[in-house]
Amino acid sequence: MVRQFILFTVILLTISASIAKANPYDKIRKKMVDKQATDETAALYYNLQKLSKKHILFGHQDATAYGHTWTKGDNRSDVKDVTSSHPAVIGLDFSGLAFAKGERLENEKARLGKLITDTYNRGGVVTMAWHLRNPATEGSFYWEKDPVRGVEQIIPGGVKHDVYKKLLQDIADLAKSLKGKDGKQIPLIFRPFHEFDGDWFWWGKSHCTPQQFTDLWKFTVNYLRDDLKVHTFLYAFSPDCTFNTKAEFLERYPGNDFVDMLGTDNYADMGRDGANYDIAAKKLKIVADVAKSNKKLAAFTETGLESITDSTWFTEKLLPVLRKEKLSLAYVLVWRNASDNPKHFYAPFKGHPAETDFIKFYKNDYILFENELPNLYKIK
């Protein structure tokens, strides 16, 4: 009888081990917002978490869409011009889809689709912001240009709720159409309603209650995931840098069931007048600690020094902040290089005084660019 029990136990363990081996993604999905996430999306979550223990990915907004003084380039970025590699993370934006119709909508889907697909095919990561024009007016995303309380109008029960659902439908249509050369749907980090603790956007803290904000966040996730069947998103929660405590950081947190990644956008402490790099590091530690305690990813979702007026900013300012507290951060992303404004740039271009320092930053073992990435879309 004992031998039979032992044999039965061995068989059960063998079967369990076989199932676990056959489905390595299931364990990861249990930690994620989307329990039906594609294997590639689960693998991205897993690999970003794994890499963050020893490395951080470098990102740049709109890196391959345009750059300093140029608007179109085949497989080009200012970062690649300087280092020979694209950034590991490329930021893009769903904003151009909003309220677009007909040919204009299809053109924007095609533009974003190519940028996203090219990045995925090279092995890079895409994070999507959403500078959404106020659905209550179809005006601006900036409050000062369009001071209308939009959040209360687009949450369930609001007079513009159906308008908002259509905006999400357009995002879902694009997301589900994106496939790489491997035939797989492409994972994206979706970062809606960023910098919500400030007042400059219509979704900012003075323009809606905490309950209205979390209602909006939860509806957005539920509708995309459950109704529109988008299973390729990691959801990122990223206030600006107005917080100084864990409680302040979590003031409008919608809950662990609705967030995969925690981040912060911080320009104020990283180079503008009154910069304080020790405070910047402290705020990153709050983000990373909260993420760790809640088993979430963490990232430095936006930062940078406009015009890079400090030629050693990357190695002597940014790098020490990233490494000061020995944090686990998935990526750091600097803002865009505008093609039509020669003073609005955050990554060096060829001939800029910060070029040498940026190459040194690129060669640092802690920092990963696109050409140094393992396959992020499979679990090994």
The per-residue pLDDT for 2 is 54
Here the tokens at position 347 are 């990554």
Q: State the chain's mean pLDDT as an integer.
A: 95
Q: What is the DSSP letter of 308?
A: G
Cα–Cα distance, 248 to 258 (Å, whole number): 18
The per-residue pLDDT for 74 is 86
The per-residue pLDDT for 129 is 98
Residue 166 CA: distances (Å) to CA of 65, 131, 150, 218, 222: 26, 16, 15, 17, 14
Contact 287, 263 (CB under 8 A): yes
Burial 300-332, CB ≥16 within 10 A → b, else e:
bbbbbbeebebbbbbbebbbebbeeeebbbbbb
Q: What are phi and psi of 102, to 5 degrees?
A: 55, -135
Q: Where are the beta strands (DSSP E) in 110-267?
A: 125-129, 188-191, 233-237, 261-266
Q: What are phi and psi of 305, to 5 degrees?
A: -125, 110
223 CB neighbour count, 10 Å cutoff: 17
pLDDT of the chain, 380 residues: tens digit per residue:
555 555 555 555 555 555 546 689 999 999 999 999 999 999 999 999 999 999 999 999 999 999 999 998 889 999 999 999 999 999 999 999 999 999 999 999 999 999 999 999 999 999 999 999 999 999 999 999 999 999 999 999 999 999 999 999 999 999 999 999 999 999 999 999 999 999 999 999 999 999 999 999 999 999 999 999 999 999 999 999 999 999 999 999 999 999 999 999 999 999 867 799 999 999 999 999 999 999 999 999 999 999 999 999 999 999 999 999 999 999 999 999 999 999 999 999 999 999 999 999 999 999 999 999 999 999 98
380 CB neighbour count, 10 Å cutoff: 9
Cα–Cα distance, 56 to 172 (Å, whole number): 29
Cα–Cα distance, 264 to 147 (Å, whole number): 25
Domains and CATH numbers, the chain: 24-372 (3.20.20.80)
| Cβ-Cβ contacts under 8 Å for 168 (sequence gap 6 or more) | 220, 223, 224, 228
297-327: per-residue pLDDT in tens? Answer: 999 999 999 999 999 999 999 999 999 999 9
The distance in angstroms from the start CA to the end CA of the chain is 40
Residues forming a β-bridge with 93: 129
* Nearest one of 232, 221, 129, 131 to 178, comparing CA atoms: 232
In the chain, count of helices (H) and strands (E)?
A: 13, 9
* Nearest one of 94, 96, 86, 95 to 125, comparing CA atoms: 86
Cα–Cα distance, 103 to 96 (Å, whole number): 13
Taken as a whole, the chain contains a residue count of 380
| Cβ-Cβ contacts under 8 Å for 294 (sequence gap 6 or more) | 256, 262
Long-range CB contacts (within 8 A, 24+) of 134-143: 134/202, 135/98, 135/160, 135/163, 135/164, 135/167, 136/160, 136/202, 138/99, 140/202, 141/95, 141/201, 141/202, 142/200, 142/201, 142/202, 143/199, 143/200, 143/201, 143/202, 143/204, 143/207
Q: Indicate which residues carry an active-site annotation.
A: 195, 302
| C-alpha Rg value of the chain to the nearest Å | 21
| Cβ-Cβ contacts under 8 Å for 345 (sequence gap 6 or more) | 68, 78, 306, 307, 308, 336, 337, 338
